[in-house]
């Protein structure tokens, strides 16, 4: 029952995080009534129910019939799952991660005014959770690795924001889980990139935006880092143990 309540609360918060991620650094406030970005129709309350309204409207504005992005229900569902699966103390951190994901997907950059607060929160979480030395060091290790890639490639292969996000994730998850999140991020990122590039080239309508992508195209990495962190935490994945076991 607690998980169900947290899931529903997460759906509601996810709706707010959608707005926050879309309006962050845009000069628009987060207050005021929600509206259709095309016809500017003010949305009534019954068109703002997380997931349910999207399905009821069949993914289209009730007035101008413009398609509503799948981002809205997907973020709401993901946030609901986050609320239901991660430790209570980690929920504020993952809420910021969700906003970072939305922003990075749209602008291919991680805002400093989001990543620095989440680093502080991760440090506080690690202080409360405790742990051995490697749990404290995993954040700096990931930060150093990504920072080196950023330095050597002069920012072409990876942004410095990814290094700072890696610091937060390493502090949050600690040694084994942090290493697992790190590995998952690369595996998921590579798999998704190849999948999108392949089907985009083949002309599938779902991947129309991918037609112009090449192996040299800039692809946001923060969403993969955050997804890897969530999966590693939820499933308590320990890639270091698996590697040692099969060795």
Select from 58, 85, 112 the last residue of a domain: 85
DSSP string of 192-225, one letter each residue: HHHHHHHHHHTT-GGGGGGTT--TTS----HHHH
What's the rounded Cα separation, in Å, for the pair 7 and 12?
9
Percent of the chain residues past pLDDT 70, beyond the cut: 87
The gap from C-alpha 24 to its chain's centroid, in whole angstroms, comes to 15
What's the rounded Cα separation, in Å, for the pair 205 and 182?
32
The answer to whether 119 touches 171, Cβ cutoff 8 Å, is: yes
Phi, psi at 69, each rounded to 5°: -60, 140
Residues 191-219, mean pLDDT to the nearest whole number: 61
Residue 117 and residue 200 share a domain: yes
Phi, psi at 26, each rounded to 5°: -100, -10
What's the rounded Cα separation, in Å, for the pair 80 and 45?
20
Q: In which domain, by residue range, is 106 found? A: 90-247
pLDDT at position 214 is 55
Mind listing the pLDDT tens digit for each residue in 70-81?
A: 899 999 999 999
pLDDT at position 37 is 74
Residue 166 and residue 95 share a domain: yes
Residue 157 and residue 44 share a domain: no
Specify the number of domains making up the chain.
2
């Amino acid at each position: 029952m607690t998980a169900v309540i947290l899931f529903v609360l997460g759906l509601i918060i996810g709706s707010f995080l959608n707005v926050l991620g879309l309006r962050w650094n845009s000069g628009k406030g987060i207050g005021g009534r929600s509206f259709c970005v095309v016809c500017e129709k003010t949305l009534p309350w019954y068109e703002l129910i997380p997931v349910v309204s999207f399905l009821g409207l069949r993914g289209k504005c009730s007035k101008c019939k413009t398609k509503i992005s799948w981002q809205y229900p997907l973020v709401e569902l993901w946030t609901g799952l986050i609320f239901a699966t991660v430790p209570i103390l980690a929920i504020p951190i993952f809420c910021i991660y969700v906003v970072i994901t939305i922003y990075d997907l749209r602008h291919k950059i991680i805002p400093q005014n989001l990543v620095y607060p989440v680093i502080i929160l991760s440090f506080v979480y690690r202080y409360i959770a405790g742990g051995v030395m490697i749990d404290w060091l995993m954040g700096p290790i990931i930060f150093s690795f990504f920072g080196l890639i950023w330095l050597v490639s002069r920012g072409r292969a990876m942004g410095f924001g990814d290094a700072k996000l890696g610091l937060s994730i390493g502090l949050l998850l600690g040694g084994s889980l942090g290493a697992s999140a790190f590995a998952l991020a690369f595996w998921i990122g590579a798999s998704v990139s190849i999948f999108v590039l392949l089907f985009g080239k083949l002309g599938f309508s779902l991947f129309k935006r991918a037609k112009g992508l090449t192996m040299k195209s800039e692809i946001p990495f923060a969403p993969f880092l955050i997804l890897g962190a969530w999966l590693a935490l939820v499933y308590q994945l320990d890639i270091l143990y698996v590697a040692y076991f099969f060795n």
